[in-house]
Chain A
Amino acid sequence: MSTLGAALPIRIRGIEKKYGPVTILQRLDLDVAAGEFLTLLGPSGSGKTTLLMILAGFVRPDAGSIKIGGDEIIAAPPHRRNIGMVFQNYALFPHMSVSQNIAFPLRQRRVPAADIVRRVTSALEMVRLNGYGERRINQLSGGQRQRVALARAMVFEPRIVLMDEPLSALDKGLREHMQLELRDLHRSLGMTTIYVTHDQREAITMSDRIAVMNGGAIEQIDRPEALYAHPRTHFVASFIGESSFIPVDIRDGVPWFRDAKLQTTARTSSSGRYLMSVRPEKVRLAAAGGDDGINILAGVMGDVIYQGDSFACSIDIGDGVKLTMRDYCREDTMARLPARGESIRVSIAASDAILVEAG
């Protein structure tokens, strides 16, 4: 089975939703390309699940338009939208067997019985559950239930698949395994997928693009590596990956931290208060005075936290500002590590210094 070629783009415009005085979504626009794997990432209350519910037709927005491949579906009832959905707790039917669950969408579409058997079998194969058809749902493990839910959401070859934190109920090892499986499934079937999660690692691992949501709006939408490298706001920088923030004053287009003049390749305005966002792995112990393109900051060594493959340490650079530095645990680096309380200097490349709005 393949939905390749049948995948459709989604065009979302001006979606608004309020519950009384509380605004959940504010005039939200979003385009998803055909066959794209797009993740809605954000903390709880950011509106990502509401947006998904609006797409599936379970929540009626106050205003807006949703077009799938050019067809307006904003007023269509859920059962006519032909969108597959995987729920957070799978929402499998406990009174039906695995096969009956997977056959459910086909039965609703009056697919001939012989075809149902064939397609259920191939769906079970797809999620590697051959021979589990007659099991009851309560006889399955969490990962197996997840696969049944996937098979059920895809067996009717929907144009769009929505996933609402589908892996959040699984333990860590299984979750990471399922991430890859989902990714592969998407690659082979190529359906347009909107995935909701609050786990930034999961989003980075799986997505073609990530839309970071905050307060009912999309703060930034981009490919994972671009989001990571160039967060535009404090929120995005702190939500995706780890960051240390150095408050800077910009005077005549040059950022200053206390009496140190800093360099950045990022575009700056002429003046104002900003935050300089620095990823921990980009902070290095400095040997000597700075070359051009390298910022050198003086600081005091703090606690070292050993994390197996890597270690992290916090460095106080004055004014209560702390930088986190992370490096791999190699014998030479570990051996040269300064002691706690020792005065040190750290370097940050100008290209790794990102300016975000303070806020």
Chain B
Amino acid sequence: MLSSQVNATVDGGLNQDTLRREARRETWKAFALLSPGMAVVCLAILVPIGWLFALSLFDEQGRPSFENYARLVEQRSYIQTFITTFQIAFTVTGVCIVLGYPLAYMLSQLPRRIAQIGLICVLLPFWTSVLVRTYAWLVLLQRRGLVNTWLTDLGIVSQPIAFINNFNGVVIGMTHILLPFLVLPLYASMRSIDKDCLRASLNLGASPIAAFWQVFLPLSIPGLVSGVVMVFVLSLGFYITPALMGGGRVVMWAMRIEQTASLYTNWGAASALGVVLLVTTLIILGLFQWRLGSRAAAAWNAR
């Protein structure tokens, strides 16, 4: 008679209430397990960003105002910095693609063990500080540096080439630092391309070049997109390398944030620059997701 007693308390099936309660308890448990992570996200990301945003809406006297944003539009130097920042980011991303794609392609075609050694070489620069790497470039590329000395000694150029203290220098330095961010996801996605797909395309009559353009390249797009997004977004926030390699002639957004933070007595001035960078980055990420994300996702899902 026990079962009928249990039954009597519920409207549906046997033990329905108990099972439902258990399910709810499990949800709460999962939530409880997640809460430390969520607290970290909240404290370390959401709260500071919110604060940053709030600060940007107050002027030097602590009154609410849009002065900090108005300044960015009214003063041409900020607009120019913004344009420069994007020019650099686009150029660096482009150079990274040109250098990184063949590199990742080569690594993906090598036997795994050799490719791993190659990857370690790609990652090697990660293990030294950005400052050291940037100074190393200065030593190599300056007017009386190694490269210019060789070039002039060999008679290739008569005047030293201005590699650094200009746009070129910033691009060289940043490309060196950011290249692994493109190569790694690209390599991973190239590795995961089904070798049989390439064989199939050859078998079906595609020349190796046609097979590359029509099959390999489209299938490597997801990795390329994530690499490009990473490089582009990181480029926007670069500070040390452009400051040193650009010789002050190339001013990027992060350098303006630093300058503004010490120039103005209110944090809002620099906060506004930070907010602009953050929002711009989010918009770009959104655009990438919208334009390329769906296509990339479709290619991934197919495996």
Contacts and interface: CB of A to CB of B under 8 A. Distances in A.
* Chains A, B in direct contact (C-beta < 8 Å): yes
Interface of A: 56-58, 77-79, 81-85, 87-89, 91-95, 104-105, 108-109, 136-138, 152-153, 156
Given A104-B206, A108-B204, 8 more contacts: A77-B202, A79-B208, A81-B203, A87-B199, A93-B215, A109-B205, A136-B302, A137-B302
A267 to B, nearest CB: 45
Contact of B219 (A56, A95, A153): A95
B176 to A, nearest CB: 32
B210 A138 contact: no
Contact of B201 (A57, A81, A82, A104): A104
Contacts, number: 84
B298 A93 contact: no
Contacts of B200: 85, 87, 91-93, 152
Contacts of A56: 199, 203
12 contacts: A56-B199, A85-B200, A87-B199, A87-B200, A88-B196, A91-B194, A91-B200, A92-B200, A93-B218, A95-B221, A95-B299, A108-B205
A82 B208 CA distance: 15
Contacts of B194: 89, 91
B121 to A, nearest CB: 27
A123 to B, nearest CB: 13
B199 A79 contact: no
Given A95-B218, A105-B204, A156-B204, A78 B301 contact: no
Contacts of B221: 95
A89 B196 contact: yes
A95 B196 contact: no
Contacts of A92: 197, 200
Interface of B: 194, 196-197, 199-208, 210-211, 214-215, 218-219, 221, 295, 298-299, 301-303
B202 A79 contact: yes
A93 B197 contact: yes
Nearest to A94: B302
Nearest to A104: B204
A91 B195 CA distance: 8
Contacts of A91: 194, 196-197, 199-200
Query: Quick one: which of B200, B204, B299 has the most chain A CB within 10 A?
Result: B204
Contacts of B215: 93
A185 to B, nearest CB: 18
B197 A82 contact: no
B217 to A, nearest CB: 10
Contacts of A82: 205
Contact of B298 (A58, A78, A84, A136): A136
B120 to A, nearest CB: 26
A171 to B, nearest CB: 20
A6 B302 CA distance: 35
Given A83-B203, A84-B203, A105-B204, A94 B299 contact: yes
A166 B221 CA distance: 28
A58 B218 CA distance: 22
A108 B303 contact: no
Interface centre among B200, B210, B301 (most CB of A within 10 A): B200
Nearest to A80: B205
A152 B215 CA distance: 15
Nearest to A86: B200
A88 B214 CA distance: 21
Contacts of B299: 94-95
B216 to A, nearest CB: 10
A97 to B, nearest CB: 11
Contacts of A87: 196, 199-200
Given A89-B194, A104-B206, A78 B219 contact: no
A77 B214 CA distance: 18
| 4 pairs of A and B residues whose beta carbons are closest in the complex | A94-B302, A91-B196, A108-B205, A105-B204
A156 B205 contact: yes
A56 B202 CA distance: 9
Contacts of A81: 203
Given A94-B219, A152-B204, A156-B205, A108 B301 contact: no
Contact of B210 (A77, A83, A89, A108): A108
A58 B199 contact: yes
A75 to B, nearest CB: 15
B206 A108 contact: yes
A57 B202 CA distance: 9
A78 B205 CA distance: 8
Contacts of A57: 202-203
B171 to A, nearest CB: 32
A57 B199 CA distance: 9
Contacts of B199: 56, 58, 78, 85, 87, 91
Contacts of B207: 79, 108
